[in-house]
């Protein structure tokens, strides 16, 4: 089945109910590695409700409705995350009820060999007073769905990393079972759990979720720049450039210039950059 370009470009959803509680917040934090060092009391409020819980800012990425591409013609098993941006207008509470508006803002044909690119914007509002909490923009690569005759790729401006040695570096290990834990936060794509599905998609083993790597990068910034103060982060934008496998050590290199933290994430053992052109915006 080919991508239904006109249907995708006109697709939008309004007032989708979204809710979460303290258990969801803690589970996400555990899935991104918080609490893995029992001797670090600074991470305890993220994983222990009696000390918080504090909500990791990138948890917002898990609040994007997953059913939007149903009926689009895409092979959902071969969809990968390309970029994720987040604008937070106020810190996420430890629990809440929200309404989401979602629309497709672009569909690009990268060719039969490189797939299609789909950009989706989601706005989250607080139920009751309509206060906008955050806006997320996701770009996805549908690896099996290029060549449908849509518009070609356009040049995109990327956040440029400073041309100097990093100001800060943070190494964070991942566990061999981390993808199995993280999927319980809502991303049930079998690509991250089933070795057979991973091999069919061209990978040697199940991948760590892109949104998990996104959370690991946020944990690195919280740990090294923010002294674990989650209220400081108002924006978090990344470009995924290579997959992470459970068990990898993720090294985040950071450059701080006033309220902007530029960053990239590497897996040195495989000599790959897994997140590039990262930009974290801090409260002024």
Residue of 2 and 178 predicted with greater confidence:
178
Class of 5-282 in CATH: alpha beta
Round to whole Å and give the CA distance between 139 and 80.
9
- Cα–Cα dist 209/44, whole Å: 23
Which H/E stretch holds residue 218? helix 210-224
Measuring CA to CA, which residue among 211, 263, 260, 214 is closest to residue 234?
A: 260
pLDDT at residue number 1: 52
Write out pLDDT tens, residues 39-57: 889 999 999 988 889 999 9
- How far is C-alpha 240 from the geometric centre of its chain's CA atoms? 9
- The catalytic residues are 187, 192
Q: Which of 68-77, 192-201, 235-244 has the lowest mean pLDDT?
A: 68-77
Share of the chain above pLDDT 90, in %: 70
Mean pLDDT of 167-184: 97
Domain ranges of the chain: 5-282
CA angle 111, 69, 219 (to 5 degrees): 90
Tokens 């053992």 -> residue = 269
Q: What percent of the chain has pLDDT over 70?
A: 94
CA distance 54 to 25: 8
User: Six-digit token pair at 109?
Assistant: 């044909």
């Amino acid at each position: 089945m080919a991508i239904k370009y006109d249907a995708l470009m006109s697709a939008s959803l309004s007032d989708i109910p979204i809710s979460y509680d303290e258990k969801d917040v803690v589970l996400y934090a555990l899935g991104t590695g918080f609490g893995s060092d029992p001797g670090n009391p600074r991470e305890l409020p993220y994983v222990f409700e009696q000390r918080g819980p504090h909500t990791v800012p990138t948890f917002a990425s898990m609040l994007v409705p997953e059913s939007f591409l149903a009926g689009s013609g895409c092979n959902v098993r071969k969809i990968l995350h390309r970029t994720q941006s987040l604008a937070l207008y106020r810190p996420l509470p430890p629990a809440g009820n929200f309404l989401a508006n979602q629309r497709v803002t672009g569909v690009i044909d990268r060719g039969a060999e490189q797939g299609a690119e789909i950009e989706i914007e989601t706005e989250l509002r607080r139920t009751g007073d309509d206060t906008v909490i955050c806006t997320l923009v996701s770009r996805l690569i549908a690896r099996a769905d290029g060549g449908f005759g849509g518009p070609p790729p356009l040049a995109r401006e990327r956040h440029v990393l400073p041309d100097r040695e990093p100001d800060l570096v943070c190494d964070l290990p991942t566990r061999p079972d981390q993808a199995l834990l993280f999927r319980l936060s809502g991303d049930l794509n079998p690509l991250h759990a089933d070795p057979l599905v991973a091999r069919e998609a061209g990978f040697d083993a199940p991948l760590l979720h892109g949104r998990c790597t996104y959370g690991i990068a946020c944990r690195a910034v919280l740990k090294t720049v923010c002294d674990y103060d989650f209220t400081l982060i108002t924006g978090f934008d990344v470009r995924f450039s290579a997959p992470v496998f459970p068990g990898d050590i993720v090294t985040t290199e950071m450059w701080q210039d006033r309220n902007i933290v530029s960053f990239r994430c590497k897996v040195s053992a495989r000599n790959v950059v897994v997140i590039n052109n990262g930009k974290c915006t801090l409260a002024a």
